[in-house]
Chain A
Amino acid sequence: MAEAETDARRLATEARDRVRFEEEALELSDQVYRVARRLVPTREEAEDLVQEAYARAFRAWRSYTPGTNLRAWLMRILTNLNIDRGRREQRAPDMQPMEEGDYFLYNRLEEANGPADEERIAERLSQDSIVDALSNVPHDFRDVIVLVDIGDFSYQEAAQILDVPIGTVMSRLHRGRRILKGQLAEATVGEES
């Protein structure tokens, strides 16, 4: 009798934990979607990816430790799924490393258009050109940029999500942002000059 009562109580606690987990995970869905949308090329693919990630997260809820970083936990499921989907097979050919430094884009914009208020110079970049430039950055680099710049994850969190050393996150971010700026410069100012 006492045993049955304990069992009932345990089940009730588990049901409550599960509901709480699902509610908390759903509250993060806008942020998860924003990251997903930039990991894959189309809205449809992003929606599929998010849906599949949530289905998997809800099935695996017991493996989440309450009190730890749920956003990173969800993001890890999302990025793993995206990699599992075989996108690595069609990876972009390795790009030539950009040798220019971080000031490259500013310098190019200034050269092409003359000096301007530095806060407004970025207005010369159109939203479409930014989205296109990011989608042209090879996957490995783009994943890190999306996690850090759009998902607001720290280097350490990005390393855990992608299961790579933190040094790899730093070098991919460094190179990825330079590739992004190279793409933006090309799209905005053109190759010559």
Chain B
Amino acid sequence: MTQFDPICEKCEELIQPFLDRELSESEREEAEGHLSDCGYCNKRYTFEVSLRRYVRQACCSEEMSPELKAKLASLRTPLQ
């Protein structure tokens, strides 16, 4: 944690929208350029990628029950 440079601070702000694919092209290039040069930010970026995967796994582990699926199907309009 010795490094703390204003570019890292900017990168910290860009990582979330970068992962959301919501940056403009110039911002994306800026983030990519910095991430390929800076080990400090790159480590944290890699962590954010795996964190998102973990959050998704944890929050999507419960599947819809077959009973609910059947109930939804029964809401369809009966065919004449």
Residues of chain A contacted by B73 (CB below 8 angstroms):
26
Residue among B13, B20, B58, B62 with max Cβ neighbours from chain A (10 Å) = B58
Q: Are A102 and B16 in contact (CB under 8 A)?
A: yes
B80 within 8 A of A: yes
Measured in the bound complex, the distance between the Cα atoms of B63 and A174 in whole Å is 28
Residues of chain A contacted by B48 (CB below 8 angstroms):
102, 106
Q: Are B62 and A122 in contact (CB under 8 A)?
A: no
Interface residues contributed by chain A, number (CB under 8 Å): 47
Measured in the bound complex, the distance between the Cα atoms of B64 and A54 in whole Å is 14
Residues of chain A contacted by B9 (CB below 8 angstroms):
101
Measured in the bound complex, the distance between the Cα atoms of B76 and A37 in whole Å is 22
| 8 A Cβ contacts from A140-173 to B | 146, 148-150, 154-155, 170, 173
Residues of chain A contacted by B80 (CB below 8 angstroms):
15
Residues of chain B contacted by A128 (CB below 8 angstroms):
58
Q: Are A177 and B16 in contact (CB under 8 A)?
A: yes
Q: Are B50 and A127 in contact (CB under 8 A)?
A: no
Measured in the bound complex, the distance between the Cα atoms of B75 and A51 in whole Å is 9
B interface residues with partner A (beta carbon < 8 Å): 1, 9, 12-13, 15-17, 20, 22, 43-44, 46-48, 50-65, 68-69, 71-73, 75-77, 79-80
A-B contact pairs, 29 of them (CB 8 A): A18-B77, A26-B76, A29-B64, A30-B63, A30-B64, A33-B64, A43-B62, A47-B65, A47-B68, A51-B68, A51-B71, A51-B75, A102-B48, A103-B44, A106-B47, A118-B47, A119-B46, A119-B50, A121-B47, A121-B50, A122-B53, A125-B51, A127-B54, A127-B58, A130-B54, A131-B59, A150-B59, A150-B60, A155-B20
